[in-house]
Amino acid sequence: MFYPSQIELELTPPHLDRCNLSNDQFSLKGKSSYHKQLKTWQRSMFVLQQTYYHQHRRAIIVFQGWDASGKGGAIRRLTETLDPRGVKVHSIAAPTELEQGRHYLYRFQQRLPSPGIISIFDRSWYERVLVERVEGFASDYEWQRAYQEINEFERMLIDDGVRIVKVFMHIDQTEQLKRFRERFENPLKHWKLTVEDLRNRDRWSDYERATNDMFRFTSTTHAPWQLIPANKKWYARVSVLKAVCDALAKDVDLTPPTMDKKLVNSMTQLLREER
Residue 2 pLDDT greater than 70, yes or no: no
Q: State which amino acid sits at residue 8.
A: E
Q: Is the pLDDT of residue 5 over 90?
A: no
What domain count does the chain have? 1
Does residue 215 sit within a domain?
A: yes
Contact 126, 218 (CB under 8 A): yes
Say if 178 falls within a structural domain: yes
Residue 72 located in a structural domain: yes
pLDDT in tens, 137-182: 999 999 999 999 999 999 999 999 999 999 999 999 999 999 999 9
Report the pLDDT averaged over residues 43-65: 97
What domain range is 178 assigned to?
A: 16-273
**pLDDT at residue 19 greater than cutoff 90:** yes
Q: Give the pLDDT of residue 3.
A: 65
Q: pLDDT value at position 28?
A: 58
Instruction: Look at residue 110 and tell me if it is in a domain.
Output: yes
CA 61 to each of CA 8, 110, 144: distance values in angstroms, whole numbers, following the listed order: 20, 16, 23
CATH number for 61: 3.40.50.300
| Residue 11 maps to a domain | no
Examine the pLDDT at 274 and tell me if it is beyond 90.
Answer: no
Does some domain include residue 5?
Answer: no
